[in-house]
Amino acid sequence: MQELRRLLEQIQTLANDLDRVSFREGEDSPLLPASRSILKSLEAEGPRTVPVLAYGRASSRQNIQILVNRLERMGFVESRPNPAHEKSVLIRITKRGSAALKQSEQDELDLFEKLSAELTVEQIQSGLEIVQRLRDAIPKRPSRRIASKQKQVLVPSPTEAEQDQIALEDETLPYNLL
């Protein structure tokens, strides 16, 4: 049992080390892993409101707003009017944000290439199998429910209609936290 605990602690430490190494020093400040995640979502899914970004991460709107404000100051995202809602803006990735994301992903690929030279394909496959078996053995928590004014919505996979509903219902988020 102690060996399993040590393995899991090492996996967590490895994940933390990878996050630390993945910080990309930019002109203004590093691209944090959470910020990179937001940029990846915007790049893949297109413009989103802060409530929808938060909803997809099971995070608070305020936390995501802080990250979005930071990304906006860095020129990586911009706010645009939301035709579906007067008080809620759409957040969109900029060319500079796309370039920072692309560079961050390339840096990560370079790191993975370097790390993969240390292991055989069989060793990597064995590690994947162990981690998957551990994940499968962990009991799954039921989805957390977020109460909306009209209905209960499951996290973290909103449909397009639910995303629109969240944007329409949320008129209380302070959009200028910083």
For position 168, what pLDDT does the model report? 47
The single residue listed with the structure tokens 């937001």 is 38
Each residue of 147-175: pLDDT tens digit? 444 444 444 445 555 555 554 444 444 43
Structure tokens at 67: 């990250």
Q: For the chain, what are the domain ranges?
A: 25-133+160-169
Calpha distance 118→100 (Å, rounded): 28
What's the pTM?
Answer: 0.63
Q: Which CATH architecture has domain 25-133+160-169?
A: Orthogonal Bundle (1.10)
Each residue of 46-83: pLDDT tens digit? 999 999 999 888 788 999 999 999 999 999 999 998 88
For position 144, what pLDDT does the model report? 53
Calpha distance 166→138 (Å, rounded): 31
Q: What is the identity of the amino acid at 97?
A: G
